[in-house]
Structure 1
Amino acid sequence: MNLSDSPAGAAVPRRVGAMEAVLTHLRGAIEGGAYAVGDKLPSEAELCRRLEVSRSVLREALRALQVMGLTASRTGKGTFVISRGPVEDATFGDYTAGDLLEVRRHVELPMAGYAAQRRTAEDLDHLSRLLERMERESDTTAWVAMDTLFHLGVAQAARNPVFRKVIEEIRDALARQSAFLTEPAGRREHSNREHRAIVRALIDGSHDDAVAAMAHHLDRVEASLASLVRPGPPEGERRP
């Protein structure tokens, strides 16, 4: 079965990328009981051979399983199942996705509004140039680093050091979350467009538009997380 060319079984009712297909396949095997808690997953080489994917794709999927709390990697020993799920929330560093989103809504919405009112020409130039780089960037790691810089830039434009301090505190978790979503959920292009809407609102100096653009951005992040962490039942199992 070539997971890069087709969905991972009937449980996936839409075309997906290779990483998401591998993630869905392995998660289904764990939650379905093919691997018990304490079992070691096959080696990376064996999984790549079975699933016909590259090692980089497989490693992204394995990292996602760890974020979901289903597996743990033990140096020199391999990847082991630590929970069969079902997954209720993902964890990024010290914070769960739910906790992050809750705080972000209380911080980044007013932050965006203040940024629209207080931004300087230098702020707008910095954010615009950063966004242009993000829109050209193809490397996931580099894009994720710029994603966190973008939110720090909005915090700087708000002219309140407390906003920047909060974003700095959760910066690592934001980066982990961004990396988790970028490939499987196809978030990069969508996020670039959402960031562009935020910058337009800041340029216009519109408090309400900036808050709305940031709210839409966080709504889409939440929806993408839900699609991965708590996916709906297969088409054939959905109630009419």
Structure 2
Amino acid sequence: MTGSPRGSQKARDTLEYLRDNISSGAWAVGDLIPKEPELMELIGVGKSTVREAVRSLATFGMLQTVPGVGTFVRARTPVSTILTEFLVDHDLEEVLVYRRSLEIEAAQHAAVNRSEEQLVLLRDAFARSHGGAAAIDRCDQSSTPGSFHLLIVEASGSKLLLDLYLGVISVLQKASADGRVILGTTPETMHLDHEAVLKAIEARDVRNAAHSMALHVDRDLGLRTDMLEFSPQTERATSLIDAGYDPGQSEL
């Protein structure tokens, strides 16, 4: 950053102020940070300094600006960004398998650790996601603040799991934008899957939370080259059912 030494110090102070509030949890993941005028008053700097600091943290994956809404906290640390850069060089099929593992682990922990407030947010997200094509879009935007999948990861109570998840989803969203990863399910099936996961988390049923999420992630995203043989029930899903899982327990 160019400018006078005083200006550089103000930029560093602004960046540190924002980063400290994020890493300490004062601004939680998914929260809107204060608006630009408020930040200018709180820190005592100008508009350009605030904007530069926000852009820097957005580059690191810690903030996400949504036009017309505001700037959300996306991650407590730059871990997710570093992981994203690392995973770009790996096979997409392996990334999908890794994402599956994280989603299942998150669902299990959410069934144990979720709060009543988080359960309310999950119910609201589930209700919003039920509605035709809009439902499909939301599952492929799993790092959007307030999305069903992200709320489950947050409810797991694991900050490391959240950072890892955001890194993985960032890679898959880029692959989706490039047409290499596509959705392999219908809005109706996705709604039933989400309902099963939600009910398991509501009941604090760890086993069904894991099984319901496993069935869901086995069929919601896949590689475009796989789509000719893509079916609602994959080999992994069949093995789970054969192992004794009864989908009727979750009203699928």
| Structure with more contact order per residue of length (Cα contacts < 8 Å, sep ≥ 6) | 1
